[in-house]
Chain A
Amino acid sequence: MSSVAVFSPKASHGRSTDWLQAWLPKLVLAPSVVIVLVGFYAYILWTLLLSFTNSRFMPSYKWVGLAQYMRLMENDRWWVASQNLLVFGGLFIAISLCLGVLLAVLLDQRIRAEGAIRTIYLYPMALSMIVTGTAWQWLLNPGLGLDKLLRDWGWEGFRFDWLVDPDRVVYCLVMAAVWQASGFVMALFLAGLRGVDPSIVRAAQVDGASLPTIYLRIVLPSLRPVFFSSLMILAHIAIKSFDLVAAMTAGGPGYASDLPAMFMYTHTFTRGQMGLGAASAMLMLGAVLAILVPYLYSELRTKRHE
Chain B
Amino acid sequence: MNAMNRLALAISLAFPLVGHAGEVEVLHWWTSGGEKRAADTLQKLVEQKGHTWKDFAVAGGGGEAAMTVLKTRAVSGNPPSAAQIKGPDIQEWGELGLLADLDEVAEQGRWDELLPRQVTEVMQYDGSYVAVPVNVHRVNWLWVNPEVFEKAGAQPPTTLDELWAAADRLQAAGYIAIAHGGQPWQDGTVFEDLALSILGPEDYHKAFVDLDEEVLTGDRMVQAFAALKKLRSYVDADAAGRDWNRATGLVIDGKAGMQIMGDWAKSEWTAANKKAGEDYQCLPFPGTQGSFAYNIDSLAMFKLSDEDDRKAQEDLARTVIEPEFQQVFNQNKGSIPVRLDQDMSAFDSCAQKSMQDFKQAAQGEGLQPSLAHGMAASSYVQGAVFDVVTNFFNDPNADPQQAARQLAAAIQAVQ
Residue of B nearest to A147 (CB): B238
Asked if residues A161 and B237 are in contact (CB atoms below 8 Å), the reply is: yes
Asked if residues B413 and A163 are in contact (CB atoms below 8 Å), the reply is: no
- Judged by a CB distance under 8 angstroms, whether A220 is at the interface is no
List chain B positions with a Cβ less than 8 A from chain A. 61, 64, 67-68, 71, 74-75, 89, 92-93, 96, 182-184, 187, 237-241, 378-380, 382-383, 387, 390-391, 393-395, 413-414
Asked if residues A271 and B68 are in contact (CB atoms below 8 Å), the reply is: no
- Judged by a CB distance under 8 angstroms, whether A269 is at the interface is yes
Write out the residue numbers on chain A whose beta carbons fall within 8 Å of the beta carbon of B93: 57
Asked if residues B380 and A272 are in contact (CB atoms below 8 Å), the reply is: yes
Q: What separation, in Å, do the CA atoms of A57 and B381 have in the docked complex?
A: 12
Q: What separation, in Å, do the CA atoms of A258 and B64 have in the docked complex?
A: 16
Q: What separation, in Å, do the CA atoms of A34 and B379 have in the docked complex?
A: 37
Asked if residues A273 and B414 are in contact (CB atoms below 8 Å), the reply is: yes
Residue of B nearest to A74 (CB): B413
Chain A interface secondary structure, helix, strand, loop or mixed?
Answer: loop
Write out the residue numbers on chain B whose beta carbons fall within 8 Å of the beta carbon of A56: 92, 380
Known: A56-B380, A137-B241, A271-B379. A166 touches B64 (CB 8 A): no
Write out the residue numbers on chain A whose beta carbons fall within 8 Å of the beta carbon of B239: 164
Write out the residue numbers on chain A whose beta carbons fall within 8 Å of the beta carbon of B414: 273
Write out the residue numbers on chain A whose beta carbons fall within 8 Å of the beta carbon of B64: 266, 269-270
Could you give 20 example pairs across A and B, Cβ below 8 Å?
Answer: A74-B413, A77-B387, A142-B238, A164-B182, A165-B240, A166-B394, A250-B241, A252-B183, A252-B240, A253-B241, A253-B394, A254-B182, A254-B184, A254-B393, A254-B394, A254-B395, A255-B390, A269-B67, A270-B68, A272-B378
Q: Mark A279-292, 1 if CB is under 8 A from B, else 0.
A: 00000000000000
**Top-8 shortest CB links A-B:** A164-B240, A253-B240, A254-B394, A271-B383, A269-B68, A254-B390, A270-B64, A57-B92
Given contacts A76-B391, A252-B182, A252-B390, 16 further A-B pairs with CB under 8 A are: A58-B96, A143-B238, A161-B237, A163-B240, A165-B240, A166-B395, A252-B183, A253-B241, A253-B390, A254-B395, A269-B64, A270-B61, A271-B383, A272-B89, A272-B92, A272-B378
Q: Mark A1-19, 1 if CB is under 8 A from B, else 0.
A: 0000000000000000000
Chain B interface secondary structure, helix, strand, loop or mixed?
Answer: helix
Q: How many A-B residue pairs have CB under 8 A?
A: 92
Q: What separation, in Å, do the CA atoms of A199 and B21 have in the docked complex?
A: 77
Q: What separation, in Å, do the CA atoms of A285 and B20 have in the docked complex?
A: 49
Asked if residues B378 and A250 are in contact (CB atoms below 8 Å), the reply is: no
Residue of A nearest to B380 (CB): A272
User: Least Cβ distance of A124 to chain B in Å?
Assistant: 22
Asked if residues A164 and B92 are in contact (CB atoms below 8 Å), the reply is: no
Asked if residues A164 and B237 are in contact (CB atoms below 8 Å), the reply is: yes
Residue of B nearest to A159 (CB): B237
Residue of B nearest to A80 (CB): B391
Q: What separation, in Å, do the CA atoms of A263 and B68 have in the docked complex?
A: 14
- Judged by a CB distance under 8 angstroms, whether A71 is at the interface is yes
Q: What separation, in Å, do the CA atoms of A47 and B382 have in the docked complex?
A: 24
Q: What separation, in Å, do the CA atoms of A74 and B378 have in the docked complex?
A: 21
- Judged by a CB distance under 8 angstroms, whether A241 is at the interface is no
Write out the residue numbers on chain A whose beta carbons fall within 8 Å of the beta carbon of B391: 76, 254-255
